[in-house]
Amino acid sequence: MIGIVIGIALIGLVAVLAVVRVAIGPDDANRAAASDLLFFAVVGLIVLVGTLVGNDHVFDLVLVGTVVGFLASVSLARALTRGRR
């Protein structure tokens, strides 16, 4: 139980640092990487809170969110490279 609370605190700290990087990132690639980190930090927080309260339905939402986040990362990388491979 205490490990979950420590995990929530650490991931919360990472999310705050990712927001700072999105705000002051020197270029679009850094902002994109920080926004991906922020998205997956939020997904991690949802998992830990769902584990803490013992809700089984959270994991279905996390699975769908993770797939959507992965597809968003791929499409954003494709947009930043302007379609070049």
Q: Measured between alpha carbons, how far is 5 from 11 in angstroms, rounded to an integer?
A: 10
- Per-residue confidence (pLDDT) for residue 50, from 0 to 100: 92
Q: Give the tens place of pLDDT for each residue, 26-83.
A: 888 888 889 899 999 999 999 999 999 988 889 898 999 999 989 988 888 888 787 7
CB crowding 28-67: b at 16 or more within 10 Å, else e: eeebbbbbbbbbbbbbbbebbebeeeeeeebeeeeeebee
